[in-house]
């Protein structure tokens, strides 16, 4: 049976809590938007789509070979994707280690036959969906610096009629 999977940075519960004031700020900008559940706040590295169990094991094995150091990520602005109508928090400066991690994850996924759904990687944390906003919207916010020490393979699943992102395998970055 296949699962809907993606690779993402792994944030702690405390880090997800730190994102909540930014989510409230985003919702005040676009009151009709729907907040993403706190447990689902993440920063995608690569969306895989449907993956069978054999492919999942190959991806995990390959991902464990990734060699990138832990890093700091400073998020400093809210912005919007008009399609698919999301408000997000993002960095103005993308750390080299994040680029390296994303490129290595993308390369291993492509080597396993998965295609990238986006041509250019734009790291962001979706705070709200169904946001009717101008694609040009960008608002500076007080910088939030998060320490990133791991990433994970997640499953997107409906649990009791609620979308949940379930961590299947956590992979540490180098100290």
In whole angstroms, what is the distance from residue 27 CA to residue 33 CA? Answer: 6
CA distances from 135 to 35, 36, 81, 87, 142 (A): 19, 19, 6, 10, 21
Answer whether 30's CB lies under 8 Å from 82's CB.
no
Model pLDDT for residues 37-87, shown as the tens digit of each residue: 999 999 999 999 999 999 999 999 999 999 999 999 999 999 998 888 899
Q: Which of the pair, 101 or 118, is modelled with greater confidence? A: 101
Cα Rg of the chain (Å, integer): 16
Model pLDDT for residues 105-130, shown as the tens digit of each residue: 999 999 999 987 666 899 999 999 99
Q: Which sequence spans correspond to the domains of the chain?
A: 3-172
- Helix H or strand E encompassing 111: helix 96-111
Instruction: Let me know if domain 3-172 sits in CATH 3.90.470.10.
Output: no
In whole angstroms, what is the distance from residue 64 CA to residue 92 CA? Answer: 29
The pTM (predicted TM-score) of the whole model is 0.93
| Bond into 100 cis (ω within 30) | no
């Amino acid at each position: 049976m296949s699962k809907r999977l993606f690779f993402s940075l792994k944030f702690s519960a405390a880090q997800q809590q730190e994102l909540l004031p930014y989510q409230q700020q985003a919702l005040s900008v676009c009151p009709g938007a729907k907040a993403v559940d706190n447990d689902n706040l993440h920063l995608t590295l690569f969306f895989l789509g449907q993956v069978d169990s054999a492919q999942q094991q190959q991806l995990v094995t390959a991902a464990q070979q990734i060699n990138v150091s832990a890093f700091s990520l400073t998020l400093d602005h809210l912005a919007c994707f008009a399609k698919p109508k999301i408000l997000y928090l993002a960095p103005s400066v993308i750390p080299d280690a994040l680029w390296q991690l994303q490129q290595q994850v993308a390369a291993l996924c492509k080597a396993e036959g998965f295609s990238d759904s986006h041509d250019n990687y734009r790291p962001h944390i979706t705070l709200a969906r169904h946001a009717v906003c101008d694609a040009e919207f960008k608002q500076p916010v007080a910088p939030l610096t998060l320490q990133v020490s791991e990433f994970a393979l997640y499953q997107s699943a409906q649990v009791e009629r609620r979308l949940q992102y379930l961590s299947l395998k956590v992979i540490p970055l180098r100290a």
